[in-house]
Amino acid sequence: MPATDCQGSSAAAFTNFGRSILSLRRDQVHSMDGAHPDSASSHELDLDSFQKNVADRISGLSSGPDEILSLSWVQKLLDLFVISQEEFRMILFNNKSQLHRAPMDRLIAEYFERSVKALDVCNAIRDGIEQMRQWQKLIEIVLIALDNQRTFCDGQFRRAKKALIDLAISMLDEKDSGSALSHRNRSFGRNTNNSTSRDSTHQRSLGHYRSLSWSVSRSWSAARQLQAIGNNLTAPKGNEVMATNGLAVVVFTMNSVLLFVMWALVAAIPCQDRGLQVHFYIPRQFHWAGPLLSLHEKILEESKKRDRKNACGLLREIYQIEKNARLMNELSDSVQFPLTEEKEAEVRQRVQELSKVCETMKAGLDPLERQVREVFHKIVRSRTEGLDNLGKGHGSD
C-alpha cells in the first residue's frame, strides 16, 4: 500500500486528512479496486456515518432531557454503547477481508483485549447495582416506619434510624467502613434504654454489612481495570489509517467509546476500588472528541465537588439518597415528641424525597442491570465473531 508519504506523528498527520479519509480513500479504491465503486462508496459512508453517529449520540447525552449521571442518563449511556458496538460489528463484518491484514489484525486484537477487560467492569457494576438494591430495601424500611398515615412516635423514628444507619454504613466506601461500624454502634445505642444487652448482639451481627460482597476477588480494582483498558490507547497514525482503508479510525473510535462508557459507569455506580484517573488522549479532529471530552470534564467536576468527593458513586440518585438520608438522620436525632408542625413538615418532606428516589430506583435498577448484561453479551459476541474471522484468516494467537 503506497502510504509512505503519510507516515508521521499521529495527531499531526491526522489533521491533514482527518476529514478527508473519504476522498483519500476514493483515490485508493480507484487505483486498487476500480471494479466495485459502489461497494466502495457505501463503505465510506459506513465509516463516516459511524463517526457522525457516535458524535451525535455523545452530544445527545449532554444535551438530552436526562440529567447527567442520573439513572436514566446511565441507561442512555449504555444504549449508546450497544448501538455503537452494533454498528462497529457491522462495519467489521462488511470488511472481513481487511481484518487479516496488518496492522488491522493487531488493532482488532487489541480492541478485543480491551473489551475483555471491560467484561470485568460490567460484572463489578452488576454487583454495584445489587448493592443499590440493598439500599433501596433499607429506604423502604424507613418509608414504612415513617408512613404518612400515622402520627409520628419515638419508636418509628428509632426504626427508621436503624435502617438509616445501616444505609449510611453500607454506602460508605469500604476503605472507611471500619470506623463507621464503631460509629454505628455508638449512634445506635443512643436511643435504646436497654442498649447494654444489645450492643454485643449487634457487634456480632455487624458481619452482615460486609457480607454482600463483590463477586470478584478482594484485590480486584475498578480503577486499575480502567487504566488497563486505556493503556496505550492512541489515535491511529496516518499510515495506519491509510493501510486499513480508514478502519483504524473506526477501531479507535470504538475503543474510546468503550473506555469512556466503562469509565462513566465506574464513576456513577459503586464498585470495588473506584478511581477515575484515566486520561483520554483524543485528537480534537474527531467529530466526537469535543462532546466526549466535555462530558468527561463535567463528570470529573462532579467528582470533585465537596459533597461528592467521598461518594461511593456519582449517580444522581445516590446523591439524593445520601443527602436525604443524612438530613433525615439528623432530624431523627433532634426530634422531640410531640413533633412541632414545622418539624413534622420537614420529616414529611424528607420522606417524600426518599420515596421519590426509591421509586426511581425500583423502576430503574432492573432495566439497568439487564442493560449491563446486554453490554456484556454484546462484547462477548462481537469478540467471538472477530476471533472466528481472524482465526480463519491466519494466526489467531
Q: Which positions touch other proteins (CB under 8 A)?
A: 116-117, 119-120, 123, 126, 130, 137-138, 140-141, 144, 150-151, 153-156, 158-159, 162-163, 192, 194, 196-198, 201-202, 204-205, 207-208, 211-218, 220, 225, 369, 377, 380, 383-384, 387-388, 391-392, 394-396
Between residues 21 and 365, which has the closer beta carbon with respect to other proteins?
Answer: 365
Contact call for residues 65 and 71 (beta carbons, < 8 A): no
Cis amide linkage into residue 103, ω under 30° from 0: yes
Sign of the CA dihedral 334, 336, 341, 345? positive
CB of 93 to other proteins, least distance (A): 17
Between residues 66 and 130, which has the closer beta carbon with respect to other proteins?
Answer: 130
- Got the DSSP string for 173-211? -GGGHHHHHHHHHHHHHHT-TTHHHHHHHHHHHTHHHH-
Between residues 223 and 380, which has the closer beta carbon with respect to other proteins?
Answer: 380
CB of 370 to other proteins, least distance (A): 9
Between residues 305 and 377, which has the closer beta carbon with respect to other proteins?
Answer: 377
Rounded CA-CA distance 233/9 in Å is 14
CB of 207 to other proteins, least distance (A): 7
Contact call for residues 313 and 128 (beta carbons, < 8 A): yes
CB of 354 to other proteins, least distance (A): 15
- CA distances in angstroms from 252 to 79, 114, 289, 360, listed in the order given: 19, 12, 11, 35
Contacts with 190 (C-beta within 8 Å, 6 or more apart), sequence order = 333
Between residues 5 and 113, which has the closer beta carbon with respect to other proteins?
Answer: 113
Report residue 336 as a C-alpha cell: 422531640
Between residues 210 and 279, which has the closer beta carbon with respect to other proteins?
Answer: 210
Between residues 43 and 117, which has the closer beta carbon with respect to other proteins?
Answer: 117
In angstroms and rounded to an integer, the radius of gyration of the C-alpha atoms of the chain is 26
Contact call for residues 84 and 257 (beta carbons, < 8 A): yes
Q: How many helices (H) and strands (E) does the chain have?
A: 15, 0
CB of 139 to other proteins, least distance (A): 10
CB of 249 to other proteins, least distance (A): 27
Closest Cα partner for 241 from 253, 228, 231? 253
CB of 200 to other proteins, least distance (A): 10
CB of 379 to other proteins, least distance (A): 9
CB of 216 to other proteins, least distance (A): 4
Rounded CA-CA distance 28/24 in Å is 7
Between residues 136 and 324, which has the closer beta carbon with respect to other proteins?
Answer: 136
Which stretch of DSSP H or E encloses residue 26?
Answer: helix 21-33
Between residues 117 and 237, which has the closer beta carbon with respect to other proteins?
Answer: 117
